[in-house]
Amino acid sequence: MTYTCLISSFPGDIKQTIEFARINKFSAISVNSINYGFRDRELLKLPLKNDHVPFSRSDLILEANDWSRRVIMMLSDPYGIDFKDGKVRQAKEALLCQELDHANFLQGSGYVMIRLNYGNKLANLARILAAKVKCLALINLKLSNEEDTWSWWNQLRTCANFSGKFKVVLEITSGAVNEEALKKWLGEPIEGLEIPTSLFIRNKNNYPVLPKNIQQVLGRFLEKRNINFFVSAPFDENLHFYSEYLESVKVKLSKYQDNVFKSVADALQIPLQPLYDNLDTYTYDVFEKDPIKYMKYQEAITAALKDMEGDSEKIIMVLGAGRGPLVRAVLNGACKSQKTVKILVIEKNACAINTLYGHMSETWLSETDKNPVIEVINKDMRDYNPPVKADMIVSELLGSFGDNELSPECLDCATRLLKDTGISIPYRSTSYVNPMMSTKLLEAVRNLPARGNQPEPFSYTKKAQTMYVVFLNNVYHIDSPKALFKFEHPNRENPVNNNRFGEVSFKAKTDCVLTGFAGYFDADLYKDIKISTHPLEHTAGMSSWFPVFIPLIQPQFVKEGEDISGSFWRNVGSHAVWYEWMTTSPQHSLMHNTEGHCSKIYSV
């Protein structure tokens, strides 16, 4: 549910203003919290004057809930609160504290808003807001090329330790907007956009509309998330024309509403460990709902079979078959390539075996005229000793970061199942990383609850040294991804070494804050047939994998043009595999997940 808020600078009865706003189709108003014209108000702790009058309205003029649902308290201009001059600073501080006490009294779970028109010194303002604000605080800033308002915001929220209490209301201006600045704002917690009515032009029917360039800016935000509109206007206009127009823009441009993944946007998921934990039927069900992935596999299997010489029966092993989608792909590939195949279906999960038997007796045999031989084997592929060796092994052991579900360890064990001329589909996997900024994900790591029946919750320090699977949305990607780890299959090296180390460097196009890295992968299936989650080469329509998020405990400020260097390790122990990571630029971070103390992927 989004709202449209009228920023009302005109004096008047608050009840009448809410009613006026409602008639004009605004669901909320933003007003000054202090009586209009009441400048010399008395402050807390001073002895009251004889002619004391209250500094604000009585709360009883509204139903308690209407204060938080209908009213956003606008705080006074804080300019002066960071002056060296103690007298000015203290007076301003006292005024702000009084207003915040008042807002806390009235707002409950609601909002206060503060307009920021300067950014040279903000530490004292940030300190007071972070300490005093109990509800949500909206920081109102201009989106403009004239002033670097992002750095004002960044100072504030950095002082406030990236608290989730702070969100941005961005005022749209008529000037051009720098593309990188816009992208950066899209990665910030934006509550809404302020549209002054002065930005509107008249269309041929004399109705107010926004110019095309401004519509485009609005579209960029609406594409990515729910946006609330704030309209600032003088009193005497027909304000409902503006709210109706903005509502129509929202309906027209809000692609986010159609995004099937919006319910899990920026939500942290613990990566699966299918080698250690058996998957359940729900997980298989989700996997199998991605036709694109299996089409690609089928394409690869067909091409590979076509390239195989002779008419002899080809032995194909499906390794980690789950509930059998790759068996279907092999059957179709055999049919298309007109080859005779024998399929050995290897799966360690005894429960999935029931499903495979069901398929064997019901679906697989009846649909093909060749009636291939299919055998279901309930074994871990690492323990399997087949009667014959395979011409082809097919597997889908890849995680969101490629090798993070231990496909290298599994496929290395399977090399001995292959003939010398045998091939593996996929034959290579590569992981990629890029640096990113996201307050939302930093907050998500902090707020991640304890899991299951754990007696104690995890500390932030531990949670921030763990990799997560995330549908990345409220994120600014600082630079494009670069390749990190590569694995080839079959790997006939002896001994095989699946430890890896990679160092990757990036450049910041603009001032920003590094909060972690995003990770992706691609897998080469056969020749140039591949699947990829790399954002610039993503396999169209494939939905099986979200990226991984690799957090940093401590955010790092990065200047435009500065290098970002990350070092990543993949370490193989006797019972587990784990990643470690750190940055060496712009700052040396501590080593994350040393010895896998915070997260491991178990192999036995």
Binding site for a second copy (CB under 8 A): 44, 48, 53-61, 64-65, 67-68, 98, 101-102, 104-108, 130, 161, 163-165, 278-282, 285, 323, 349-355, 357-359, 377-378, 446-447, 449-450, 453, 455-461
Cβ–Cβ < 8 Å for 268, 448: yes
Nearer to a second copy, 302 or 599 (CB): 599
The active-site residue out of 99, 188, 191, 396 is 396
Q: How far is the CB of 350 from a second copy (least distance, A)?
A: 5
Nearer to a second copy, 457 or 573 (CB): 457
The amino acid at 485: F
Nearer to a second copy, 285 or 563 (CB): 285
The amino acid at 576: A
Q: How far is the CB of 55 from a second copy (least distance, A)?
A: 7
In angstroms, the CA 126 to CA 132 distance is 10
SS3 (DSSP) at 134 = coil
Nearer to a second copy, 248 or 461 (CB): 461
Query: CA angle, corner 446, sides to 440 and 452, nearest 5?
Result: 120
Q: How far is the CB of 475 from a second copy (least distance, A)?
A: 22
The active-site residue out of 191, 194, 347, 405 is 405
Beta strands 476-477 and 428-437 are: antiparallel
Closest of 9, 32, 188, 20 to residue 103, by C-alpha: 32
Query: CA angle, corner 221, sides to 75 and 482, nearest 5?
Result: 120
Q: How far is the CB of 463 from a second copy (least distance, A)?
A: 9
Note the helical H segments in 418-523: 439-447, 460-463
Residue 70 sits at φ, ψ, to 5 deg, of: -115, -15
Angle between helices 212-224 and 240-253 (to 10 degrees): 60
Cβ–Cβ < 8 Å for 134, 106: no
Q: How far is the CB of 288 from a second copy (least distance, A)?
A: 10
Nearer to a second copy, 22 or 446 (CB): 446
Q: Which residue has the tokens 């001995």?
A: 416
SS3 (DSSP) at 408 = helix
The amino acid at 205: N
Q: How far is the CB of 444 from a second copy (least distance, A)?
A: 13
In angstroms, the CA 250 to CA 241 distance is 14
Closest of 474, 472, 471, 450 to residue 460, by C-alpha: 450
Q: Is 405 a catalytic residue?
A: yes
In angstroms, the CA 361 to CA 353 distance is 12
Nearer to a second copy, 45 or 212 (CB): 45
Nearer to a second copy, 67 or 521 (CB): 67
Q: How far is the CB of 354 from a second copy (least distance, A)?
A: 4
In angstroms, the CA 375 to CA 503 distance is 45
Residues with active-site annotation = 396, 405
